[in-house]
A and B are shown apart, each in its own frame.
Chain A
């Protein structure tokens, strides 16, 4: 939009300028609207990516937040009648009151200072004192009415407050039974399952990808490189649902026939499939790190009488360690949040075992499988967002480590200690 306007403007202002150079006035800074607007727009848009991250933080966490408030909310049991309106906001969104407003106030119940921030962000609430009081009540009530009114989905015997409170209590258990008379949200089994599958996939993918990268960077002829690299690029372009499909239809059967285990879909199959998805990431970054090692290292080592493989293993590989570390980290990040493969190839049973041949359910798969059926605003819904927040933080941290720590180290190492 800015551009079109601009183009017109840029010719406009210069129309007034004479082509005769003698008259060009350089002593006064000319205001050029086109350039001004373009620059402002470009700068503004450039902040979009930062904004998005902040928004993701805000909105994913916001939906997860009510869980922690409800345990306080129970004290304000009175004033049941006032709630009719806000209850509708959640369930069917027929009320004018924006949902955001109602949810903001969850924050306020727990922590007044937090509320300040939230209110500023959305700028909805006018009378803090009053609103805080009112919504504080609604909070507990909301949960109550929702779980009751949506009993078609969630058969819920206890009140919403109870539900939320027990949700927190059950969070650190191994039972993930979100839909039942007494819902339990134990995410321990999910966490263990996710780590288990991540470990399996890394044990499979990391050595394979790193060794292949080493081959490509050090030993391979030009012709081999021209086969391997495009193939990896091809693999990187595989949609994960296709890999999931392959794992579900072909790999699972193949592996079962080979290893003779009982459950067809399990963390082993899922781990291998996710490993396949992670190979391109690990390979590419490792290869980059290996080729970034200065040629002089290589030549010096060869000149000292070391053979090619000794040079590869004792000179090049160590010099590129930080890069390989980053590669593995990003591979872990990829696997940790992988949803479609987990949904399709892991069996999706939240069992807490260390046996790789048992079915497993990952954090991401839980969100993917249950979010579509859940009641908006329900405890179950909030817990799923909480899981999402955990995934987000985990990958964010992993990326930050890969970015700052590893890069700094790699630079130091290659540019001379």
Chain B
């Protein structure tokens, strides 16, 4: 009797500890959200989003940072989504599940996913800027320094490499939800493999490609380390083009909090910018989650 009671208490305590851990994590998230939203909500206005920083970045808005972030993720998606999708098609449609090639590619994809983002920054610098860029300058501009320096294009491509695994994994999952019977039906009608993929498999996994794109964009919008020295700029008075450095939300937060001369004075802007970035990534992530939920539901029905 007593023994079992003790056992019960022990059980309750242990279950309590696990419950406490779960609640603590949820609390941390809620606190972070609350603090940032409360700190930033007064800043959020149309004006904040659409005007340039003024007074040595202590006042004004974040428009150039928003603009730079948008350009960054667009160029990044243009590079990452097709390549990611094609890789996923190879893995699901062409490669044999247990072939060495497929296994190696999968391992490579997972490795890409865990490489620290700062390494991508180094790679962007070493490869895109110092190797590709310098060669382009040498070949087309007579050695004049044009592409051999940090800019939007190189930063976007660096970010594309970083987000490639995100796209691959999402698209692969979506391709797998297309029933095997549909592929069989198409092939039995005399369609070639590629016709089957193009007309049956891909249309059936469009929402998965969308999910992958959104997740990649969300990731790319928030990452700072890869662009620290491949293109991000402290302050620019004009909007950037492909060959220019650019302002970006995450980097803006970083420089305002650590590099600015008067951190306290810019505190509202810091909270405001963080709030905007968080809202942006959340909206994207939520839509991806909803899309993915729909795909899974479709699969199970």
Contact = CB atoms under 8 A, between A and B. Distances in A.
A207 B133 CA distance: 46
B107 to A, nearest CB: 6
A399 B114 contact: yes
A352 interface: no
A403 B107 CA distance: 8
B25 A93 contact: no
B237 interface: no
A246 B32 contact: yes
A50 B203 CA distance: 28
A333 interface: yes
A391 B116 contact: yes
A411 B117 CA distance: 31
B90 A339 contact: no
B134 A93 contact: yes
B235 interface: no
Given A34-B194, A367-B118, A245 B253 contact: yes
Contacts of A209: 21, 25
Contacts of A403: 107, 110
B110 A388 contact: no
A378 interface: no
A62 interface: yes
A220 B14 CA distance: 13
B115 A98 contact: no
Given A41-B86, A228-B22, A344-B257, A339 B114 contact: no
A246 B36 contact: yes
B112 A313 contact: no
Interface residues of A, number: 104
B164 A49 contact: yes
B195 A10 contact: yes
A211 B18 contact: yes
Contact of A219 (B19, B91, B229): B19
Contacts of B200: none
A339 B22 CA distance: 27
A330 to B, nearest CB: 6
Given A46-B105, A233-B289, A246-B35, A372 B257 contact: no
A114 interface: no
B224 A56 contact: no
Interface string B132-170: 001101100011110010000000000001001100100
Contact of B22 (A207, A215, A313): A215
Nearest to B94: A42
A168 to B, nearest CB: 20
A256 to B, nearest CB: 16
B291 to A, nearest CB: 13
Interface stretch (A131-139, A149-157, A234-242): A234-242
B250 interface: yes
How big is the B interface, by class? 35 or more
B119 A391 contact: yes
A59 interface: yes
B282 A237 contact: yes
A238 B278 contact: yes
A245 B257 contact: yes
Interface string A240-256: 11111110111000000
B96 interface: no
B122 A63 contact: yes
B107 A234 contact: no
Contacts of A97: 138
B184 interface: no
A110 to B, nearest CB: 19
A50 to B, nearest CB: 5
B21 A208 contact: yes
Interface string A313-329: 10000000000000000
B285 interface: yes
Contacts of B197: 38
Most buried by A among B19, B197, B277: B19
Interface string B98-123: 00000011011111101111111111
Q: Lowest 7 CB-CB distances: which A-B pairs, in order? A: A337-B116, A239-B222, A46-B90, A215-B18, A211-B21, A59-B126, A339-B225
Given A50-B105, A52-B112, A237-B282, 12 more contacts: A10-B195, A38-B197, A49-B165, A50-B104, A56-B119, A56-B123, A59-B123, A96-B142, A100-B135, A248-B257, A310-B11, A337-B118
7 contacts: A93-B143, A94-B143, A212-B24, A214-B18, A218-B18, A344-B254, A371-B121
Interface of B: 7-8, 10-11, 14-15, 17-22, 24-26, 28-30, 32, 35-36, 39, 83, 86-87, 89-91, 93-95, 104-105, 107-112, 114-123, 125-127, 130-131, 134-135, 137-138, 142-145, 148, 161, 164-165, 168, 192-195, 197-198, 218, 221-225, 228-229, 250-251, 253-254, 257-258, 267, 270-271, 274, 277-278, 281-282, 285, 289
